[in-house]
Amino acid sequence: MFIGHFGLGFGAKKINNRPSLGTLFMAAQWLDLIWPIMLILGIERVEIQPGNTVVAPLNFVYYPYTHGLFFVLIWSLLFGLVYYLFKKDAKTAFFLGILVLSHWVLDFITHGPDLSLFPWMDKKVGLGLWNSFAGTIIVEVAIYAIGVYMYYTATKAKNKTGIYSFWILVAFLFLIHMMNLFGPPPTKVEPLAYAALIQWLIILWGYWIDKNRVAV
């Protein structure tokens, strides 16, 4: 899942408007932000395998530190703790921790059985929505559209930058999603990992948008 995670980030602003959109994006997408770093360092592994699922041509061979439930719970706790140390806002810190955990829940729905529960167990889980092309599009686009609508109704632009920066990002993320679905599959893992690091720029984009919009 890609834009579905960002959809949750957008929608979270409607529930709690204290964090910036950039922080909400970072929480919702945290696991995929650190995953390419783990790939580059050789700590986790993925193989390009067209046909592994109908949607994603990737075989997630080994990624317990970013997508295993045990470590996801630790990341959720740490993310919330760091936010609390800076902002002294326990309620929002807990909310952000849940948002980090939401990433695993959405991946559990979409991935095949490649998500580990605990490091000491061989059992892996995943409901496999990625094996249905139509189902994946419907679910992910629905989550994204609802999230975008929630953010739009929870904020208003302070200036033209607040309008254009928001709608351009909405279109940009959707375009990337379409390219992932209909474009050619990647051919090598290393370029894939470095390309995935571009997501950090989307986080900065979220901060920029929120600087030019105000909560209603």
Q: Mind listing the pLDDT tens digit for each residue in 92-108?
A: 999 999 999 999 999 99
Average pLDDT on 168-191 reads 93
What pTM was estimated for this model as a whole? 0.96
Predicted local confidence at residue 185, as pLDDT: 87
Instruction: Return the closest-CA partner of residue 4 out of 94, 89, 111.
Output: 111
The residue segments making up the domain with residue 59 are: 3-215
Q: For the chain, what percent of residues have pLDDT higher than 90?
A: 92
pLDDT in tens, 2-21: 899 999 999 999 999 999 99
- Give the pLDDT of residue 89: 97
- Residue for token digits 């994006």? 25
pLDDT exceeds cutoff 90 at 120: no
pLDDT in tens, 21-40: 999 999 999 999 999 999 99
